[in-house]
Amino acid sequence: MWQGVIPAVTSKFNEDDSLDFAEMRRCFALQIDAGVDGLIACGSLGEGPMLSHEERIGVLRTCIEVAGARPSLLTVAEASTRDACALAEKAARAGAAGLMVVPSTIYHSDHRETVAALRAIAAAGDLPIMIYSNRLAYRVDVTVEMMEELADDPRFVAVKESSDDIRRSTEIINRLGRRYDLFTGVDNLAFEALAVGAIGWVAGLCLAFPHETVAIYRLVKLGRHAEALSIYRWFRPLLDLDVSTYLVQNIKLAEALAIHSNERVRAPRMPLAGERRARAEQTILQAMATRPELPRLV
Amino acid sequence: MWQGVIPAVTSKFNEDDSLDFAEMRRCFALQIDAGVDGLIACGSLGEGPMLSHEERIGVLRTCIEVAGARPSLLTVAEASTRDACALAEKAARAGAAGLMVVPSTIYHSDHRETVAALRAIAAAGDLPIMIYSNRLAYRVDVTVEMMEELADDPRFVAVKESSDDIRRSTEIINRLGRRYDLFTGVDNLAFEALAVGAIGWVAGLCLAFPHETVAIYRLVKLGRHAEALSIYRWFRPLLDLDVSTYLVQNIKLAEALAIHSNERVRAPRMPLAGERRARAEQTILQAMATRPELPRLV
Amino acid sequence: MWQGVIPAVTSKFNEDDSLDFAEMRRCFALQIDAGVDGLIACGSLGEGPMLSHEERIGVLRTCIEVAGARPSLLTVAEASTRDACALAEKAARAGAAGLMVVPSTIYHSDHRETVAALRAIAAAGDLPIMIYSNRLAYRVDVTVEMMEELADDPRFVAVKESSDDIRRSTEIINRLGRRYDLFTGVDNLAFEALAVGAIGWVAGLCLAFPHETVAIYRLVKLGRHAEALSIYRWFRPLLDLDVSTYLVQNIKLAEALAIHSNERVRAPRMPLAGERRARAEQTILQAMATRPELPRLV
Amino acid sequence: MWQGVIPAVTSKFNEDDSLDFAEMRRCFALQIDAGVDGLIACGSLGEGPMLSHEERIGVLRTCIEVAGARPSLLTVAEASTRDACALAEKAARAGAAGLMVVPSTIYHSDHRETVAALRAIAAAGDLPIMIYSNRLAYRVDVTVEMMEELADDPRFVAVKESSDDIRRSTEIINRLGRRYDLFTGVDNLAFEALAVGAIGWVAGLCLAFPHETVAIYRLVKLGRHAEALSIYRWFRPLLDLDVSTYLVQNIKLAEALAIHSNERVRAPRMPLAGERRARAEQTILQAMATRPELPRLV
């Protein structure tokens, strides 16, 4: 159902901490213009848990407005299943093409509870779902066994594989073939994931470097591995910024430097400071100074 | 400011998933009658993140109503600092004696952000605060260095030490003396914590076994270590139920068996089932069958 | 200097626990006949720490005898640097083509100590060295920084990358280009490592399935990724047996079933039993029953 | 059979890396004079794995010579069970009062293998054994279940509990009563362990501060908890030096400063340097400058 590069967009704020829809429109459009295949609103990168439901629907509507025919998904990642279901319903009413769903964010649900939560959210939203399996960030693993169990509901169409273990991608394919659209959710494992058969990339640094991200994806799909690998190697120090506790601040700094956006975040987050900021900035500027020439691909 | 045994109460639900205030009143009163020194509403055990702010204030009001002159605290554990501040204000208006505060629940804030979040919440609620340091459950550690830094604000009066490392208690005392009321938040490290100088116990199994919990606390404070240790050894298999991903379900099962309450929880949580339930039930029944005689202590 | 598939051979025992050189000759020859590019004696798989120095030299000599012109390396993995140096000297005298060196096996040496130990062993043996970086098995990580530091000594020619994180391979290439021959040491990350630029594979399941291992390697090198990936997917449940506390017993069971060898190990190891054995056996038999047809490659 | 404070002594080296028996005699005598209850040779602190069997027997003989009627134990911690058995036999012939046994040091043996290794070593040495359970340093946990299983052999007389989790001590007592002499092996959990019922302390910082160590032990046993705790709080920054990858170097630095010994270690270990050394030195000097007055206890 879905494939390709789908960035998880950052939410943009005005100085008074309210949402800056104009800046979101501008930034999202840069993504679409570079050839991405959809947009995901209010994920970890989008500071979803810091936004009210109403605000999240606002970000989603902005995605839909900009992405047009390409799919716009809303992230559902709530502590309680009742809140998750309520948000899923609102997303459906707002016209989301699908949901990216974290089964539980605070409580570490077990197998039975994880499956039940996912089924309840699917029923509430009645939209196609990308299962977001991220045992590191949320400590709830959606295992291959659970994916197998959930396969009886056609609303579960895709998996965002963020276990941080590249082996998992092959395990999913070995067990389930092409039942799910397999996306990688880890920027600095993306080439490896595509090499073993993933068909999509929920991307982070793409927000600041969309052309490079799209180029890697397309080159791999064209079988031009060496060219893709060469860009990927240049990209790696940047991609590492996505696999960090500070991914939001890192990527907003990259957006500030590379696409002239800003670094505003919601508390408890603060913009990077000190040594950590200096290192991130150096990584970004160094990469910008050595940008590879990209092949024409369309 | 605070000391003694303060249970973190469970929230009670009706069959339709609404709050059961009558049952809460009954259960909280059992605690007060057994001699506990206060009540904490809507912590991890109280399924705080599954309740709306309004519901949480309802539970807090029930605590205040039952606890009378003894302190009733509300737990503040929100993803965003703005929500935490809003809840702190509501708690103050509702008459809370204080707040138990987790600085950040989803994002793993760094030193600077953790301190800033705690200061913001303190300013918003303007109530005495028990800092809840639990790096395991929330992955945000309030370190001894941060406690030292926060000591300039007299609203930070207590620490709930839940690092799962008993060494931390002595480190706090060595660094900060008696600046903070030191509570242990880990049931099965409680005797050890009291032995090295903690003056309070935020207790879990107390909900089903209040007399035994209070007896251990008072015996240690009276220097009757051997008697306290003897009860603690009997209590340990039960106390282990508090240090578990499934602590809410475990303790609600203990409440069902020991004080005739029920096991209803909010999704994604489900009551225990299968082998895990059988083991917990056996532990509880076995302990009930071998209850020690408690000394008169008043 | 080195490249290709180099199996880390298992040591073979008679019923009286002495080394069975005849069986080693037979098994090593199966590897050479299948086209491997060298042999490594007495690694983790070879139960090196369970063998006396004299026995280890015996295994090395058997490798040399069978491998002929292809390189035979001895593993050096000792608790004390003095023992490591003594073994390195013996290996040199016995005609080893090189050493695979673990800097420290019991003590978790720091940066300075790790580098010093590697330099001392290199000086003692005066042989080309494959640095074995395995922070999981030995808890001593040879980091990219250390590799950079050691690059001034031409005896350090290769790295066996066993960090269990596929990202490390690209980090080594990004930092050091082709200074070191980059080998993967993790069977179930081998395709991924070759895809990002590794030129060698220190292989385990190769001992029971040499033709399949060699085919994957050669297909990747020929740019025939899809064919390699197809074999790799079949191979994965077997390759997972290499990434286990019980890798020696797992692989000896595979050798027993696939090449009619035996499962004898030295204490404290015992052959697999019970459920764990049943699962490994099923994995092996299932893979044997579904062996893919291999393309002709020479 | 055993109880009290038993230091795990450091091995002393001459400038040429050979053993310095004179210095060992001097240092061991300081321990005995301060009232310790026995000596343990060649443990982690004694750099056992860096010494040949012959050297280890030499250290053991020195212990026996100095300790006289008090027990001298040799540590057995070998990769292969056959080497462990050989060392156990040598220790018995040399007159050891007992063995402190690590079941496996490199391979992470499972339940069945761990129990079998311990039984084989017990049979070989035919001496009383202190089971050394240290899942952190050796990644082989001797669980309470295994202790229960081994209880049928009267040669297993004691347990050195080094799980780093104070809860384990109560679990052993709850399951096995007083079947084993329960020693703590973690300096900075020692007061806590004695408070819950341990009867012995395999001590580290005791080597530099024997009087303080013995005082804490005896005060706890006399029920004078507050006095013991007061000394323990002073001692804690020092005791933390024992729970470190660098415990050998830390404690040898403490010995250099407090009892005028030296810091020589065997490679790959090197004496502390840089920031790490500065911090350890400051901790030691600070503690020496604030030594508490000790009560007369005999």
8 A C-beta contact, residue D2 and residue D180: no
* Residues contacting A146, CB < 8 A, separation 6+: A111, A114, A115, A118
Is the pLDDT confidence value at C31 over 80? yes
CATH of the structural domain C4-208, one choice from 3.20.20.70, 3.40.1210.10, 3.40.50.2300, 3.30.300.30: 3.20.20.70
Task: Please tell me the distance in Å from C196's CA to the nearest CA on chain A.
Answer: 7
| Chain D residues whose C-beta sits inside 8 Å of any chain C C-beta | 17, 49-50, 79-82, 103-110, 112-114, 116-117, 120, 245-246, 266-270, 273
Show the CA angle centred on residue C249, arms to residues C248 and C252, nearest 5°: 85
Task: Please tell me the distance in Å from D164's CA to the nearest CA on chain B.
Answer: 9
Q: Is the dihedral of CA A142, A147, A151, A155 positive or negative?
A: positive
Segments in chain A forming alpha helices (H): 21-34, 53-67, 81-93, 111-125, 135-138, 144-150, 167-176, 190-195, 210-221, 225-239, 247-259, 274-289
Residue C298's pLDDT band, with cuts at 50, 70 and 90, is low
Q: Provide, as residue numbers in chain A, all residues whose Cβ is less than 8 Å from the Cβ of B109.
A: 268-269
Q: From residue C278, give the alpha-carbon distance in Å to each of A257, B255, B262, C245, C271.
A: 57, 42, 42, 16, 12
pLDDT of D250 reads 98
| Alpha-carbon span C127 to C71, nearest angstrom | 12
Share above pLDDT 90 across residues of chain A, in percent, rounded to a whole number:
98
Q: What is the 3-state secondary structure (H, E, C) of B109-147?
A: CCHHHHHHHHHHHHHHHCCCEEEEEEHHHHCECCCHHHH
| Alpha-carbon span A225 to A207, nearest angstrom | 23
Share above pLDDT 90 across residues of chain D, in percent, rounded to a whole number:
98
| Alpha-carbon span C56 to C42, nearest angstrom | 6
Supply C215's token pair.
């085919």
Residue D22's pLDDT band, with cuts at 50, 70 and 90, is very high
Phi and psi at residue A133, to the nearest 5°? -105, 105
The average confidence (pLDDT) of chain C is 97
| Chain B residues whose C-beta sits inside 8 Å of any chain A C-beta | 17, 49-50, 79-82, 103-110, 112-114, 116-117, 120, 245-246, 266-270, 273
Q: How many helices (H) and strands (E) does chain A have?
A: 12, 8
Is the pLDDT confidence value at A298 over 90? no
Tens digits of per-residue pLDDT, A223-265? Answer: 999 999 999 999 999 999 999 999 999 999 999 999 999 999 9
| Alpha-carbon span C40 to A196, nearest angstrom | 29
Q: Which of A136, A167, A172, A232 to mutate to probe the C interface, most C CBs <10 Å?
A: A167
Supply C207's token pair.
């001992």
The alpha carbon of D52 is separated from its chain's Cα centroid by a whole number of angstroms, namely 19
pLDDT of A162 reads 96
* Residues contacting A148, CB < 8 A, separation 6+: A175, A176
Terminal CA-CA length for chain B: 22
Q: Which of D136, D166, D238 to mutate to probe the B interface, most B CBs <10 Å?
A: D166
Terminal CA-CA length for chain A: 22
Residue C138's pLDDT band, with cuts at 50, 70 and 90, is confident
pLDDT of C50 reads 97
Flag residues of chain B having pLDDT under 70. 298
| Chain C residues whose C-beta sits inside 8 Å of any chain A C-beta | 166-167, 170-171, 173-174, 188-189, 191-192, 195-197, 223, 225, 229, 232-233, 236-237, 240
Tens digits of per-residue pLDDT, D174-188? Answer: 999 999 999 999 999
pLDDT of A246 reads 98
Mean pLDDT, to the nearest integer, of C96-112? Answer: 97
Q: What is the 3-state secondary structure (H, E, C) of chain D?
A: CCCEEEEECCCCECCCCCECHHHHHHHHHHHHHHCCCCEEECCCCCCHHHCCHHHHHHHHHHHHHHHCCCCEEEEEECCCHHHHHHHHHHHHHCCCCEEEEECCCCCCCCHHHHHHHHHHHHHHHCCCEEEEEEHHHHCECCCHHHHHHHCCCCCEEEEEECCCCCHHHHHHHHHHCCCCEEEECCHHHHHHHHHCCCCEEEECHHHCCHHHHHHHHHHHHCCCHHHHHHHHHHHHHHHHHHCCCCHHHHHHHHHHHHHCCCCCCCCCCCCCCHHHHHHHHHHHHHHHHCCCCCCCCC
8 A C-beta contact, residue D241 and residue D247: yes
8 A C-beta contact, residue B142 and residue B131: yes
For residue D237, how many other CB atoms are within 10 A of its CB? Answer: 17
Of residues D189, D197, D237, nearest to B166 (C-beta): D189
Q: Provide, as residue numbers in chain B, all residues whose Cβ is less than 8 Å from the Cβ of A17.
A: 82
Q: Which of D163, D167, D174, D199 to mutate to probe the B interface, most B CBs <10 Å?
A: D167
Q: From residue A54, give the alpha-carbon distance in Å to each of A48, A61, B291, C199, D169.
A: 11, 11, 53, 53, 52
pLDDT of A296 reads 84
Share above pLDDT 70 across residues of chain A, in percent, rounded to a whole number:
100
| Chain A residues whose C-beta sits inside 8 Å of any chain B C-beta | 17, 49-50, 79-82, 103-110, 112-114, 116-117, 120, 245-246, 266-270, 273
Tens digits of per-residue pLDDT, D202-220? Answer: 999 999 999 999 999 999 9
Tens digits of per-residue pLDDT, A160-184? Answer: 999 999 999 999 999 999 999 999 9
Name the 3-class secondary structure at C40: strand
Is the pLDDT confidence value at C148 over 70? yes
| Alpha-carbon span A250 to A33, nearest angstrom | 23
| Alpha-carbon span C79 to C81, nearest angstrom | 7
pLDDT of B298 reads 61
**Known active-site residue B132:** yes
8 A C-beta contact, residue D100 and residue D160: yes
Mean pLDDT, to the nearest integer, of A202-219? Answer: 98
**ipTM reported for the complex, 2 dp:** 0.96
Q: Where are the domains of chain B?
A: 4-208
Phi and psi at residue B267, to the nearest 5°? -65, 145
Q: Which residues of C are catalytic?
A: 132, 160
Q: Binding site for pyruvate: what residues of C are annotated?
A: 202
Rounded to the nearest 10 degrees, how much is the dihedral formed by the CA atoms of A83, A87, A90, A94?
170
pLDDT of A297 reads 78
**Burial state string for B51-67 with b = 16 or more CB within 10 A and e = fewer than 16:** beeebbbbbbbbbbebb
| Alpha-carbon span D169 to D146, nearest angstrom | 15
pLDDT of D243 reads 96
Tens digits of per-residue pLDDT, D127-176? Answer: 999 999 999 988 899 999 999 999 999 999 999 999 999 999 999 999 99
Tens digits of per-residue pLDDT, D243-283? Answer: 999 999 999 999 999 999 999 999 999 999 999 999 999 99
Q: From residue A138, give the alpha-carbon distance in Å to each of A180, A288, B43.
A: 21, 32, 19
Counting every residue written for chain C, the total comes to 298
Q: From residue A132, give the alpha-carbon distance in Å to each of A40, A96, B139, B212.
A: 12, 17, 20, 44
Interchain contact, A49 vs B106, CB within 8 Å? yes
Of residues B166, B188, B240, nearest to D192 (C-beta): B166
Tens digits of per-residue pLDDT, A66-101? Answer: 999 999 999 999 999 999 999 999 999 999 999 999
pLDDT of C297 reads 78
